[in-house]
Copies of this chain bind each other. A is one copy, B any other.
Amino acid sequence: MKEKKNGPPGRTKIMKALSALIKQKDFHSITTAEIAFQAGVTEGLIYKYFKDKRDLLYTVLEEYFEAFREYIKKEVAQRETSIEKLEVVIRANIESWSANRVFARILLLEVRSSPDYYKSRAYELVKKYYRTIVQIIEDGMEKGEIRRDIKPEVLTKTILGAIEHSCLGDIIFERTIDADLICDNICKTVFKGVMP
């Protein structure tokens, strides 16, 4: 077996088609007709395999996310202290987005506004990722590496938010992401604080 169970070829072609189109324009202005044309199938087939246009988007996102989590997991496992682990999460996250802008754009801009997204499998993966970070922080607190007067959940959100917003502008305006600079700045801020 070369591939995972991707299902029928038409389904794969449709996902590839949207994946390609989303590089060129925003999701809202991509029509189902365009997707079908790019995939070389008819419009109706989209609705055979996906509930609706958005469901297709979530499924594409899911694929990206699976790879992303895999990568992060591997990197984290190699580190010892919780601070090192957090640093590698921050770095890997930014670098993943930098290498895979489409993924970042879908995740940060295209799906969040639809209520249905929060019932999707893709969102389940996001939550898993979130919980991984909370766990790192809780472990760090237990080991005395991280101060205990902060809520792990809020700290996680602070870190994820810092990453997201720092990359957002570059993603929207198609600029190159200076991963090192951003990572370095976020780590300095979060680990040691901004006071001299």
Which positions in A face B, CB cutoff 8 Å? Answer: 26-28, 83, 108-110, 112-115, 118, 144-151, 154-155, 157-166, 168-169, 172-173, 181-182, 185-186, 188-196
Contacts and interface: CB of A to CB of B under 8 A. Distances in A.
Given A191-B193, A195-B191, A166 B146 contact: no
A145 B176 CA distance: 31
Given A145-B195, A166-B161, A115 B190 contact: no
10 contacts: A28-B113, A110-B113, A149-B188, A150-B194, A155-B189, A157-B168, A161-B166, A189-B189, A190-B193, A190-B194
B26 A147 contact: no
A54 to B, nearest CB: 9
A26 B191 CA distance: 37
Contacts of A112: 108-109, 172
Most chain B CB within a 10 A radius of its CB, from A158, A160, A182, A191: A158
A165 B157 contact: yes
Most chain B CB within a 10 A radius of its CB, from A154, A185, A191, A194: A194
Contact of A158 (B110, B114, B189, B192): B189
B194 A194 contact: no
